[in-house]
Amino acid sequence: MSEPIVKISGLNKWYGEFHVLRDIDLAVQKGERIVICGPSGSGKSTLIRCINALEEFQEGEIVVDGIELGPNLKHIDAVRREVGMVFQSFNLFPHLTVLDNCTLAPIWVRNIPKKDAEETAMKFLERVKIPHQANKFPGQMSGGQQQRVAIARALTMNPKVMLFDEPTSALDPEMVKEVLDTMVDLAEEGMTMLVVTHEMGFAREVANRVVFMDAGQIIEANTPNEFFAAPQHARTKLFLSQILR
Amino acid sequence: MSDVISSSFVRRDLLAERPAPVKTTGFIGLMRTRLFNSPTNILLTILGALLLWFTIVPSVKFLMVDAVWSGKDRAACLAENAGFAVGACWPYIQAKFPQLIYGFYPEAERWRVNLTLLLAAILLLPLLIPRLPAKGLNAGLFFVAFPVVAFFLLHGGGIKGFGLSWTAGLLQLFDESIVGAGQALLTSSKTSAIGPLLWVLGSLIALLGTVIHWLIFPLTWLRDYIQGTGQSVWTDFAVTAAIVCLITFVLGGGVRTGGRALASSIATFIAIAIVIKLMDLDHGGLPVVTTNLWGGLLVTLVVSVTGIVTSLPIGIALALGRRSTIPLIRIFSIAFIEFWRGVPLITVLFFATYMLPLFLPGNFTVDGLVRALIGIALFTGAYQAENVRGGLAAIPRGQSEAAAALGLSWWKTTSLIVLPQALRHVIPNLVNSFISLFKDTSLVSIVALFDLLGSLRASFADPKWSTPSTAFTGFAFAGIIYFMFCFGMSRYSLFVEHRLNAHRRN
């Protein structure tokens, strides 16, 4: 096995006195798709937010593509350039058009000329199937479209890893599919993905591994087939019985 | 009317469009549906009409119908000469108009004020119209070049040196104050109980001053050498231009990409040279008009425009500082804001005018108008800080998180994502403060600066125009001028708000 692209070892995090992540060890290979699930408050979002240093942590180490991110958060900018993130609430910049949303970071972080950045942005907007809305403002679009723009925006920075923090939880059921389809396409192109989601269908179809978390720790990690067919831990069984009816 | 539709129905003939019933549209519709549609509304309509009757009619009567329009002195505006109860006495305004606009600015030099106002209008109007191009250049001219030109136009005077001399002078002043502090400590060490400690401290500070003196010696020597030559301004100018151009060239990326930066800095210096030559600054410039002669609308505009332009950056900096995670910056910002908000503007102006000179070193004087300007800028800055903070608080955390996740630094996140949204939220509040600042400028009249209102009140003392309606006419005139500016700002802010918030309309 080659060196993992994301390697989390001995990660511990506290919110004040509250121990929110406990001894997390996780290695993600290049091109691997990992779905993280678990009850709310189990620390799934916190975990992936640690990977691009949106949350600081007190102990342990995260290595992304050879760049080391310790508790003192050195190399924070280098890591963020390698990692794209999609949020539950889209977090598009409402005062900028869709196109400007997608060109902002390439222009200001990577110093790419505006024209080139716009070409690249249009390419990614085509890939998420909304090129004709490029000059609209986010507020004029549906939730599903906004989330696809958010995916395109993250992709314009050519990340090596994509993090998804419950990307479909804020969407109407009708729109969940268009976003999931986009993510499936992305997975088929070989993108390394860490996805926090409750979409078990997506996990079955796309994931290489499913990680189940509870109370700040990884309870069980397995291939989707094994995970859904034969969960080992009692807590996993309970969780699955609750969500799969 | 069709019958009740039974369970299955297919329309055969499409219905043609009909005009709305007469009684619901137009003036009659308005009366029926909005003005007289309920007992409360009937009452309110009548009260409104009465209010208009008792305010508009007397105003028009006073300002237009009963007004005296021409005359040479108070005699024209007296009821016994005019033959009716005199309203506004407009010849008085006509006679005092120059004083209300320029104050005691010498009559021969008033073209300079006109030119400055014209320049301001020429530079400001294109800046306010979004469709016109070259906003960057325009803003640079208005915010950087214009204040300097306006200073030399309004105040007059020339320059003896340029960048190099100024830098050397500033450093020397800094150095001298350090040495002075050291000397003061040494002197007091002879009498104090903690003498030895003060002596050590004083010696250290004096030593530091000496070190700085030798560090800046090449600069001061060069300055003295240049001052010795006949063409001190232009030699200094050339040296400064060369140094600055070189620095921008290197910072711009050297041979590879620095060409643009070099070209623009050379262009800037050529422009500066033209201005210096045009205004004859190297030979003493225009005759000096000290600020105690300024007055009228000129002072009102100088104070309010400077206040508006400087208070917003101060406010933004303080608002960001107040939300900073660095304790020292946060505490400083909070203390600064709370101090200035807790003190009345009149106190600030009094302090700036009469007490500040007591604290400053003897050789260091600041012009009275400048002192008032600084006081007003800091005062309004503290208010603007709270306005901006309100806008910052309205921006969800997800915005800066998303920007951070894309790799944007704190500065870029703040200037590209957070501030543009925050400021849009608080445009009404910001303009509210601007308007109140514009009117608060009238308070400078208590520190012996004659703004529009101050000049007006000074003109009341003239016995040549003392009539029963002089004061009313004067205040009406001042009110109209204030209203024009404030209403203009208000309307423009609405326009900007509407335009910048395009993204919030679906």
Contact B506 A139 (CB under 8 A): yes
Calpha distance B169→B160 (Å, rounded): 12
Please name every residue paired with A162 in a beta bridge, in sequence order, or none if there are none: A84, A193
Judged against a pLDDT cut of 90, whether residue B209 lies above it is answered with: no
Contact B420 A104 (CB under 8 A): no
Chain B positions touching chain A (beta carbons under 8 Å): 396, 398-399, 401-409, 412, 416-417, 420-421, 424, 500, 502-504, 506
Q: How many domains does chain B have?
A: 3
A229 min Cα distance to partner chain B (Å): 36
What confidence category does residue B353 fall into, taking pLDDT thresholds of 50, 70 and 90?
confident
Contact A54 B506 (CB under 8 A): no
- pLDDT at residue B485 in the model: 93
What confidence category does residue A154 fall into, taking pLDDT thresholds of 50, 70 and 90?
very high
CA distances from B357 to A46, B262, B351, B365, B492 (A): 57, 42, 9, 7, 39
Q: pLDDT exceeding 90 applies to what percent of chain B?
A: 30
Q: What is the mean pLDDT of chain B?
A: 85
Nearest to B407 among A87, A95, A109 (CB): A109
Question: Which parts of A16-58 are beta strand (E)?
Answer: 18-28, 33-37
Under DSSP, is residue B229 helix (H, G, I), strand (E, B) or coil?
coil
Q: How many H-runs (helices) and E-runs (strands) does chain A carry?
A: 9, 10
Residues in chain B closer than 8 A to A95 (CB atoms): 420-421, 424, 500, 503
Name the nearest CA neighbour of B505 among A147, A94, A132, A139. Answer: A139
What confidence category does residue B364 fall into, taking pLDDT thresholds of 50, 70 and 90?
low
What confidence category does residue B50 fall into, taking pLDDT thresholds of 50, 70 and 90?
very high
CA-nearest residue of chain A to B411? A108
Do B274 and B304 reside in the same domain of the chain? no
Do B56 and B101 reside in the same domain of the chain? no
Q: Which of A57-66, A136-145, B188-197 has the lowest mean pLDDT?
A: B188-197
Under DSSP, is residue A63 helix (H, G, I), strand (E, B) or coil?
strand
Q: Say which CATH number the domain at B459 has.
A: 1.10.3720.10
- pLDDT at residue A73 in the model: 64
Residue-range definition of the domain harbouring residue B299: 93-105+291-504
Question: Measured in whole angstroms, how far is the alpha carbon of residue B227 from the centre of its chain?
Answer: 36
Nearest to A54 among B404, B416, B503 (CB): B404
Residues in chain A closer than 8 A to B421 (CB atoms): 93-95
Under DSSP, is residue A193 helix (H, G, I), strand (E, B) or coil?
strand
Can you tell me the mean pLDDT for B325-332? 93
- The answer to the question of residue B145 being in a domain is no
Please name every residue paired with B103 in a beta bridge, in sequence order, or none if there are none: B294
Can you tell me the mean pLDDT for A123-127? 91
Contact A84 B405 (CB under 8 A): yes
A67 min Cα distance to partner chain B (Å): 15
Judged against a pLDDT cut of 80, whether residue B55 lies above it is answered with: yes
Q: Is A157 an interface residue toward B (CB < 8 Å)?
A: yes
Q: Which of B283, B301, B317 is the last residue of a domain?
A: B283
Q: Phi and psi dihedrals of A214, rounded to 5? A: -150, 140
B322 min Cα distance to partner chain A (Å): 22
Nearest to A140 among B403, B407, B506 (CB): B506
- Of the residues B406, B423, B426, B499, the best mutation for testing chain A's interface (the one with the most A CB atoms within 10 Å of its CB) is B406
Judged against a pLDDT cut of 60, whether residue B3 lies above it is answered with: no
CA-nearest residue of chain B to A154? B406
- pLDDT at residue B210 in the model: 84
What confidence category does residue A86 fall into, taking pLDDT thresholds of 50, 70 and 90?
very high
Tokens matching residue B303: 């104070």
Q: Which of B283, B304, B336 is the last residue of a domain?
A: B283
B357 min Cα distance to partner chain A (Å): 47
Number of CB atoms found within 10 A of residue B394's CB? 12
- The answer to the question of residue B393 being in a domain is yes
- The answer to the question of residue B149 being in a domain is no
- pLDDT at residue B258 in the model: 67
- The answer to the question of residue B82 being in a domain is no
* Chain A stretch 114-153, residues whose beta carbon is closer than 8 A to a beta carbon of chain B: 137-140, 150, 153
- Give the strands of the sheet with A59-64, arranged side by side: A18-28, A6-15, A59-64, A67-69
Contact B402 A93 (CB under 8 A): yes
Name the nearest CA neighbour of A171 among A195, A145, A133. Answer: A145
Query: Buried (b) or exposed (e) across B58-96, using 16+ Cβ within 10 A?
Result: eeeebbeebbbeebebbebbbeeebeeebbbbbbbbebb
Environment class of B255 (CB within 10 Å of its CB; exposed 0-12, middle 13-18, buried 19+):
exposed
Calpha distance B384→B333 (Å, rounded): 13
The total number of residues shown for chain B amounts to 506
- The answer to the question of residue B343 being in a domain is yes
Do B255 and B330 reside in the same domain of the chain? no
Nearest to A104 among B416, B421, B424 (CB): B416
Name the nearest CA neighbour of A206 among A232, A180, A229. Answer: A180
B418 min Cα distance to partner chain A (Å): 9
Half-sphere exposure of residue A75: CA atoms within 13 angstroms, side-chain side:
16
Nearest to B398 among A84, A91, A137 (CB): A91
Over the stretch B98-149, which tens digit does the pLDDT of each residue have? 889 888 888 888 888 999 999 999 998 888 888 888 888 888 888 888 888 8
B65 min Cα distance to partner chain A (Å): 52
Contact B503 A77 (CB under 8 A): no
Tokens matching residue B386: 């709270």
Please name every residue paired with B450 in a beta bridge, in sequence order, or none if there are none: B295
Calpha distance B289→B473 (Å, rounded): 30
Do B358 and B403 reside in the same domain of the chain? yes
**What are the percentages of helix, strand and coil residues in chain A, rounded to 5?**
40, 25, 35
Nearest to A77 among B396, B407, B502 (CB): B407
Contact A109 B406 (CB under 8 A): yes
What confidence category does residue B230 fall into, taking pLDDT thresholds of 50, 70 and 90?
low
- pLDDT at residue A125 in the model: 92
Can you tell me the mean pLDDT for A60-80? 82
Q: Which of B283, B308, B333 is the last residue of a domain?
A: B283
Judged against a pLDDT cut of 80, whether residue A173 lies above it is answered with: yes
Do B478 and B384 reside in the same domain of the chain? yes
pTM attached to this predicted model: 0.82
Calpha distance B379→B340 (Å, rounded): 5
Residues in chain B closer than 8 A to A104 (CB atoms): 406, 408, 416
Do B298 and B279 reside in the same domain of the chain? no
- Counted across chains A and B, CB pairs separated by less than 8 A come out at 67
Q: Which of A81-90, B193-202, B398-407 has the lowest mean pLDDT?
A: B193-202
- pLDDT at residue B1 in the model: 47
Judged against a pLDDT cut of 50, whether residue B166 lies above it is answered with: yes
- pLDDT at residue B403 in the model: 93
Judged against a pLDDT cut of 70, whether residue A17 lies above it is answered with: yes
Residues in chain B closer than 8 A to A92 (CB atoms): 402
Q: Is A15 an interface residue toward B (CB < 8 Å)?
A: no
Task: Name the residue type at position A128.
Answer: V
Calpha distance B244→B371 (Å, rounded): 31
Number of CB atoms found within 10 A of residue B400's CB? 18
Can you tell me the mean pLDDT for A37-66? 89
Q: Is A89 an interface residue toward B (CB < 8 Å)?
A: yes
Name the nearest CA neighbour of B212 among B181, B178, B250. Answer: B178
Comparison of pLDDT for B404 and B158, the residue scoring more: B404
Judged against a pLDDT cut of 70, whether residue B194 lies above it is answered with: yes
Do B268 and B330 reside in the same domain of the chain? no
Do B42 and B178 reside in the same domain of the chain? no
Residue whose entry in the numeric block shows the structure tokens 């700040």: A216
B498 min Cα distance to partner chain A (Å): 13
Contact A94 B421 (CB under 8 A): yes
What HEC string does B237-306 produce?
HHHHHHHHHHHHHHHCCHHHHCHHHHHHHHHHHHHHHHHHHHCCHHHCCECCCCHHHEEHHHHHHHHHHH
Q: Phi and psi dihedrals of A23, rounded to 5? A: 45, 55
Environment class of B16 (CB within 10 Å of its CB; exposed 0-12, middle 13-18, buried 19+):
exposed
Name the nearest CA neighbour of A32 among A62, A6, A9. Answer: A6
- The answer to the question of residue B132 being in a domain is no
Q: Are A197 and A38 in contact (CB under 8 A)?
A: no
Calpha distance B376→B471 (Å, rounded): 28
- pLDDT at residue B180 in the model: 80
- The answer to the question of residue B314 being in a domain is yes
Contact A94 B504 (CB under 8 A): yes
- pLDDT at residue B458 in the model: 87
Do B190 and B219 reside in the same domain of the chain? yes
Can you tell me the mean pLDDT for B42-66? 91
Do B323 and B449 reside in the same domain of the chain? yes
Do B304 and B368 reside in the same domain of the chain? yes
- The answer to the question of residue B143 being in a domain is no
CA-nearest residue of chain A to B504? A139
- pLDDT at residue A1 in the model: 54
A3 min Cα distance to partner chain B (Å): 24
Do B236 and B335 reside in the same domain of the chain? no
